[in-house]
Structure 1
């Protein structure tokens, strides 16, 4: 019984510590700490289309220069015959996967426009952008 009470009180104390207002959290004291301003941005343009076949297209642009575009559709793939870890054989079959393509862009603190294009499909998330590191060849 006492263990339960101690665990419960510890959890409540932990929740209070995490829930304290942000202005009570100590800010970095270093003068070189990056400071940002939080100017509210407004949505200048927004498109949101969802089709009966499950495909969609959405995008938005904000007053602070952020642009986001995203499109998705369902694609049939053939999953080859395979064996599970417990020795069960899974026969070749078709599956539907969601393919998403898109991009987003924003300005970094130095004013450079950062753009990331991506595709996410049965091969995973595949980002492309000039700001991303290039693996050695």
Structure 2
């Protein structure tokens, strides 16, 4: 959760050198979760909501967007839960990761074929 708050702060600081007015600023924190939203006149927007499931697992959803110096709209929607950080959508789309090297695939196959014996 600290990562997401840090990310939002860094996004805001990245454009802090521009003159921007706060158009919207909301936040709520309680024992079961939190949510915040902000919007600036220089196109920066972010919203995030986190809920504590079963008293021990955080589920965090968020969106953020801004316009790049080149005028291109940049946005990302994400989910973070027990399965880790997952990008739901991004504009521009995230690049496709490179294929797994053959040597790594062989190593994984070997480890699966020869499990640890304790």
TM-score range, shorter chain: 0.5 to 0.7
* TM-score normalised per structure 2: 0.61
Q: Please report how far the alpha carbon of residue 136 of structure 1 lies from its aligned counterpart in structure 2 after TM superposition.
A: 7.0
> CA–CA distance in 1 between the matches of 2:16 and 2:51?
38
Q: Residue 46 of structure 2 corresponds to which residue in structure 1? A: 68
Equivalent residue for 1:13?
none
What is the aligned counterpart of 1:123 among 77, 83, 87? 83
* Paired residues, number: 83
Aligned to 1:48: 27
Partners in 1 of 2:78 and 2:32 — Cα distance? Answer: 20
In structure 1, what is the equivalent of residue 56 of structure 2? Answer: 96
User: Residues 65-102 of structure 1: CA distance to partner in whole angstroms, max 9, x if unpaired?
Assistant: 100000000113xxxxxxxxxxxxxxxxxx71111100
Following superposition, the deviation at residue 37 of structure 1 comes to: 9.6
User: Could you say which residue in structure 2 is the equivalent of 1:133?
Assistant: 95
Q: Distance in 2 between matches of 1:42 and 1:58?
A: 17
Q: In structure 1, what is the Cα distance between the partners aligned to 2:52 and 2:16?
A: 40
User: Hey, what's the Cα distance between the residues in 1 that align with 2:82 and 2:35?
Assistant: 19
Q: Which has the higher helix share?
A: 2
Q: Cα offset for 1:62?
A: 0.5
4+ residue runs over 4 A deviation = none
SS at match of 1:114: strand
Q: Structure 2 stretches of 5 or more lacking a match?
A: 1-14, 100-118
